[in-house]
Amino acid sequence: MNVVLLGPPGVGKGTQGVFITSEPGWVRIVTGDLLRDSVTSGSKLGLEAEAYMTSGQLVPDALIVALVRDHLVHLELQGSLVFDGFPRTAGQASELTEMLNLLGKRVDSVVVLQAEEQDLVERISGRRSCPTCKSVYNIHTSPPEKSGFCDVEGSALIHRTDDNPETVLSRLQVYRSETEPVVHYYQELGSKVCLIDGSKSVDEVRTNIAQVLGLVTA
Q: Is the pTM of this model over 0.75?
A: yes
Burial class (CB in 10 A: 0-12, 13-18, 19+), 191: buried
28 among known catalytic residues: no
Q: Residue 79 domain-assigned?
A: yes
123 among known catalytic residues: no
Q: Residue 137 domain-assigned?
A: no
End-to-end CA distance of the chain: 20
Which structural domain range is residue 11 located in? 2-116+179-213
Cα–Cα distance, 59 to 46 (Å, whole number): 11
Which CATH number does the domain housing residue 79 bear? 3.40.50.300
Number of neighbouring beta carbons within 10 Å of residue 4? 25
What are residue 52's DSSP bridge partners?
none
105 among known catalytic residues: no
178-217 per-position pLDDT tens digit: 888 999 999 999 899 999 999 998 899 999 999 999 886 5
Cα–Cα distance, 81 to 14 (Å, whole number): 14
Q: Residue 186 domain-assigned?
A: yes
- Look at residue 3 and give its three-state secondary structure: strand
From residue 148, give the alpha-carbon distance in Å to each of 130, 137, 139, 188.
10, 10, 9, 48
Out of 69, 88, 105, 200, the active site residue is 88
118-172 per-position pLDDT tens digit: 889 888 888 899 988 878 888 887 899 999 999 999 999 998 877 888 888 888 8
Q: Residue 29 domain-assigned?
A: yes
